[in-house]
Amino acid sequence: MAKECPITHKSSKIAGRYSNRVRATQFNPTGKVRRKANLQKKRIYIPELKKYITLTLSTKAIKTINKNGAYATLKKAGII
């Protein structure tokens, strides 16, 4: 199973790679590269349930949890 954030659904994607030489010419392909999402393994305490849960989250999701609260964010995402 691919690594994906359960809240924001961010995962890796394939993107183009550029150099200054490519920009200078009409056609000079350099290939594709896989860009990975910034995923972090976090242990979050949920006071409403009185327990910890470990998730692999994107940094954007961690900011969302800090702003809105763990229980509300995880309930909206369908994790709890």
**Phi-psi bin for 78: left (phi > 0), alpha (psi -120 to 50), beta?**
left
CA distance 60 to 31: 29
Could you tell me the domains of the chain? 13-77 (2.30.170.40)
Q: Could you read off the pLDDT of 26-71 as tens digits, one per residue?
A: 666 667 889 999 999 999 999 999 999 999 999 999 999 999 999 9
Amino acid at 72: A
Global pTM? 0.79
- Distant-in-sequence, close-in-space partners of 30: CB < 8 Å, separation ≥ 6: 16, 17, 18, 19, 22
Structure tokens at 75: 């309930």
